[in-house]
Structure 1
Amino acid sequence: MEKKPNRLLQESSPYLLQHAYNPVDWYPWGQEALQKAKQEQKPILVSIGYAACHWCHVMEHQCFEQEEIAQIMNEHFVCIKVDREERPDVDQIYMDALHAMGLQGGWPLNVFLNSDAKPFYGGTYFPPQNWIQLLQSIANAYQTNRQELDQSADQFLAHLNQSELAKYGLTQANADFNSVAFEQMFQALQTKFDTERGGTAHAPKFPMPSIWSFLLKYYHHSQKPSALEQLNLTLQEMALGGIYDQVGGGFARYSTDEAWLVPHFEKMLYDNGQLISLYSEAYQVTRNELYKQVVLETVAFVERELTSPEGGFYSALDADSEGVEGKFYVWTQAEIEQHLGKEASLASKYYNTSTEGNWEHGLNILHRRQTDIAFAADQGLSLEELQEHVQNWKDTLLLARGQRNRPGLDDKILTSWNALLLKGLTDAYSAFGDPNLLKLACTNAEFLLKNLYVNDQLYRNFKEGKATIDAFLEDYALLIQAFIGMYQANFDEKWLTVAKRLTHHTLQHFFDPAEDLFFFTSARGEQLITRKKEILDNVLPASNSVMAHNLHYLGLYFDKADYTQLSEKMLSKVRDLVVQQPSHLGNWASLYYLKLKSSAEVVIVGPRVHEFRELLQQHYLPNVLLAGSKESPEDPVIPLLEERSTTAGQTTIYVCQNKTCQLPVHSVSEAIAQLQNL
Structure 2
Amino acid sequence: MATGGASSSGSRRGGKHKNRLAEEKSPYLLQHCHNPVDWYPWGEDAFKKAKKENKPIFLSVGYSTCHWCHVMERESFESEEVGKIMNEHFVNVKVDREERPDVDKVYMSFIQATSGGGGWPMSVWLTPDLKPIAGGTYFPPKDHMGRPGFSTILTRISEQWKNNKDKLIQQGNMVIDALKELSASAVDSSATLPGQESVRKCLDQLENSYDEEFGGFGHAPKFPQPVNFNFLFRVWSSMKGAPEAQRALDMAVETLRFMAKGGMYDHIGQGFHRYSTDRTWHVPHFEKMLYDQGQLAVAYCDAYQITKDPFFADIARDILLYVSRDLSDRQGGFYSAEDADSLPSPGSKTKKEGAFCVWEADEIRNLLGEKLPHYDDMTFADLFAKHYNINRSGNVAFDQDPHGELAGKNVLIVRGSMENTAKAFGLEVSQVEEVLGKCRDILFKVRRKRPPPHRDDKMITAWNGLMISGFARAAQVLGEAQYLDRAIKAAKFVRKKMYDDSTGKLLRSCYHDPEMDRVTQIANPIDGFADDYAFLIRGLLDLYEASYNEEWVEWAAQLQRKQDELFWDSEGLAYYTVSGDDPSVLIRMKEDQDGAEPSANSVSAGNLLRLASFHDDEGWRNKSVQLMTAFGARLAAIPLALPEMVSALIFHLQTPKQIIIAGNPRDRDTKALLQCVHNSFNPNKILIVADGKEHGYLYEKLKVLSTLKKVDGKATAYVCENYACSLPVNTVLELDELLSK
Same fold (TM over 0.5): yes
Q: 1:213 aligns with which of 213, 218, 230?
A: 230
CA offset digits 1:297-320 (Å, max 9, x no partner): 111111111111111111000000
Task: Select 1:363's aligned residue among 406, 409, 412.
Answer: 409
Summarize deviations over 1:303-352 as a string: whole Å, max 9, x none: 11111111111100000002110000000001111111121000000110
From 458, 468, 490, the equivalent of 2:506 is 458
Note if contact 1:188-1:580 (Cα within 8 Å) is conserved in structure 2: no
| Residue identity in the other structure for 2:520 | K
Aligned to 1:184: 201
Which residue is equivalent to 1:329? 357
- Structure 1 equivalent of residue 391 of structure 2: 354
Asked if structure 2 preserves the Cα contact closer than 8 Å seen for 1:609 and 1:628, the reply is no
CA distance in 1, matches of 2:573, 2:431: 58
Q: Which blocks of at least 5 consecutive residues in structure 1 are unaligned?
A: none
Determine if contact 2:662/2:691 at 8 Å carries over to the other structure: yes
1:505 and 1:312 map into 2 onto residues whose CA distance is 22
Where 1:483 maps in the other structure, the secondary structure is helix
How do 1:360-439 residues align onto structure 2 when only pairs under 5 Å count? 360-439=406-485
Please tell me whether residue 343 in structure 1 is matched to residue 391 in structure 2.
no
Letter in 2 for 1:404: R
Distance 1:171 1:616, change over 3 A: closer
Partner AA of 1:235 in structure 2: L
Question: CA contact under 8 A between 1:490 and 1:610: conserved in structure 2?
Answer: no
CA RMSD of aligned residues (A): 1.5
How far the C-alpha of 1:630 sits from its partner, in A, is 3.2
Offset at residue 647 of structure 1 (A): 1.2
User: Are the equivalent residues in 2 in contact too, given 1:185–1:580 (CA < 8 A)?
Assistant: no
Deviation string, structure 1 residues 425-459 (Cα, Å, up to 9, x no partner) = 11111110011111111111111111111222311
Q: Contact 1:100–1:159 at 8 Å: present in 2 too? A: no
- Code of the residue aligned with 1:174 in structure 2: it is T
Alignment match, 1:173: 191
How far did residue 634 of structure 1 move? 4.4
CA displacement, residues 78-125 of structure 1 (integer Å, 9 cap, x when unaligned): 000000000000000000011121342000000000111000110111
Q: Distance in 2 between matches of 1:2 and 1:505?
A: 45
2:623 & 2:193 partners in 1: Cα distance? 11
CA contact (8 A) 1:182 1:579 kept: no
User: What is the CA–CA distance in structure 2 between the aligned matches of 1:545 and 1:167, rounded to whole Å?
Assistant: 13
1:588-640 deviation line (CA, Å, top 9, x unaligned): 11111101211110000113333321231121111110000333534524415
Partner AA of 1:357 in structure 2: G
Give the Cα separation in 2 of the matches to 1:441 and 1:263. Answer: 29
Match of 2:637 among 555, 580, 600: 580
Q: Give, in whole Å, the separation in 1 of the partners of 2:420 and 2:293.
A: 27
Which segment is superposed worse, 57-66 or 281-290? 281-290
Residue type of the partner of 2:596? V
Deviations 1:263-288 (A, max 9, x none): 00000000010000001011100112
Return the match for 2:103 from 64, 87, 90.
Answer: 90
**Which residue of the partner structure matches residue 178 of structure 2?**
159
| Residue correspondence of structure 1 range 260-339 to structure 2 within 5 A | 260-322=281-343, 323-339=351-367
Residue among 641, 648, 659 paired with 2:705 = 641
Matches within 5 A, 1:495-514: 495-514=552-571
Query: Which whole-Å CA distance do the structure 1 matches of 2:600 and 2:161 have between them?
Result: 37
Distance 1:428 1:583 in 2: 27
One-letter amino acid of the structure 2 residue matched with residue 647 of structure 1? V
Which residue of the partner structure matches residue 148 of structure 1?
167
The 3 A distance-change label for structure 1 pair 394 and 134 is: same
Give unpaired runs (5+ residues) of structure 2: 1-13, 143-148, 344-350, 370-378, 397-405, 514-518
Q: Secondary structure at the match of 2:185?
A: helix
- Counterpart residue type for residue 551 of structure 2: K
Size of the alignment, in residue pairs?
A: 675
Aligned equivalents of 2:709 and 2:583: distance in 1? Answer: 50
Q: Secondary structure at the match of 2:520?
A: coil
Distance 2:738 2:191 in 1: 35
- 1:593–1:374 distance in 2 versus 1, CA, 3 Å: farther
Q: TM-score, normalised by structure 2?
A: 0.89
After superposition, the C-alpha distances for 1:414-435 in whole angstroms (9 at most, x for unaligned) are 1111111110111111110011
Cα distance in 1 between the residues matched to 2:617 and 2:69: 47
Matched, 1:59 2:72: yes
Is the contact made by 1:328 and 1:404 (CA closer than 8 Å) also made in structure 2? yes
Indicate if the aligned counterparts of 1:632 and 1:641 stay in contact, CA closer than 8 A. Answer: no
The SS at the match of 2:303 is helix
CA distance in 2: counterparts of 1:480 and 1:232, whole angstroms? 27
Q: CA deviation at 1:357?
A: 0.7
CA deviations over 1:60-85 (Å, ceiling 9, x no partner): 00000000000000000000000000
CA distance in 2, matches of 1:633, 1:369: 57
TM-score between the two structures when normalised by the length of structure 1: 0.97
Rounded Cα–Cα distance in structure 2 between residues aligned with 1:478 and 1:374? 41
Once the two structures are overlaid, the 10-residue window that deviates more, 574-583 or 475-484, is 574-583
Distance in 2, matches of 1:634 and 1:90, equals 45
Aligned equivalents of 1:45, 1:319: Cα separation in 2: 26
8 Å CA contact 1:59, 1:126 repeated in 2? yes
CA distance in 2 between partners of 1:181 and 1:317 (Å): 37
Task: Map residues 554-573 of structure 1 onto 2, 5 A cutoff.
Answer: 554-573=611-630
Matches within 5 A, 1:470-549: 470-549=527-606
Q: Indicate yes or no: 2:689 matched with 1:628.
A: yes
The answer to whether structure 1 residue 69 and structure 2 residue 82 are counterparts is yes
**Counterpart check, 1:664 vs 2:728:** yes
Once residues 161 and 289 of structure 1 are traced to their aligned partners in structure 2, the CA distance between those partners, rounded to angstroms, is 49
Contact 2:37 2:92 survives alignment (8 Å): yes
- Secondary structure of the residue that 2:688 maps to in structure 1? strand
Q: Which 10-residue stretch deviates more, 238-247 or 284-293?
A: 284-293
Please report how far the alpha carbon of residue 642 of structure 1 lies from its aligned counterpart in structure 2 after TM superposition: 3.0
Q: Which of 17, 25, 46 is equivalent to 2:30?
A: 17
CA 1:604–1:632 in structure 2 vs 1: closer, same or farther (change >3 Å)? farther
1:378 Cα shift?
Answer: 4.2
Identity across the alignment (%): 37
Match of 1:204 among 216, 221, 224: 221
